[in-house]
């Protein structure tokens, strides 16, 4: 079973989470057989280890991590590979895949450019 973790930095402001949770909801609607969770690096819960543990408990045997970071900063370059290694060690029967950061996807950058150039009525 596929599990997906939508990973973001985190914020103390509860309204900040709404777009991250929206992405998770859209993933769940797109594949009803997948189990989906949000996770945060800091400032709010759950963290990535907790989210992975919950997905494994729900039957996920393959977990994809989607980092909602626009650039390839220190978190994406250094912290995430270490956390992915930790997840693999904690759940040896589960395959983990770290997807590129959202900002590295040319479809997203093209969409943002399109949004910037749209005329609003």
Q: Which residues are catalytic?
A: 9
Rounded to an integer, what is the distance from CA 42 to the centroid of its chain? 14
DSSP type of residue 3: E
Whole-angstrom distance, CA of residue 81 vs CA of residue 60: 20
Residue 3 near residue 63, CB atoms below 8 Å: yes
List Cα–Cα distances, 77 to 72, 96, 121, in angstroms: 6, 17, 41
């Amino acid at each position: 079973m596929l599990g997906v973790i939508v990973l973001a930095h985190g914020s103390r402001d509860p309204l900040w989470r709404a777009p991250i949770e929206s992405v998770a909801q859209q993933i769940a609607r797109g594949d009803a057989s997948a189990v989906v969770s949000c996770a945060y690096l800091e400032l709010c819960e759950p963290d990535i280890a907790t989210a992975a543990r919950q997905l494994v408990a729900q039957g996920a045997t393959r977990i994809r991590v989607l980092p909602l970071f626009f650039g390839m900063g220190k978190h994406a370059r250094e912290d995430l590979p270490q956390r992915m290694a930790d997840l693999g060690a904690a759940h040896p029967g589960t395959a983990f895949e770290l997807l590129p950061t959202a900002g590295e996807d040319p479809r997203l950058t093209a969409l943002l450019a399109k949004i910037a150039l749209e005329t609003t009525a």
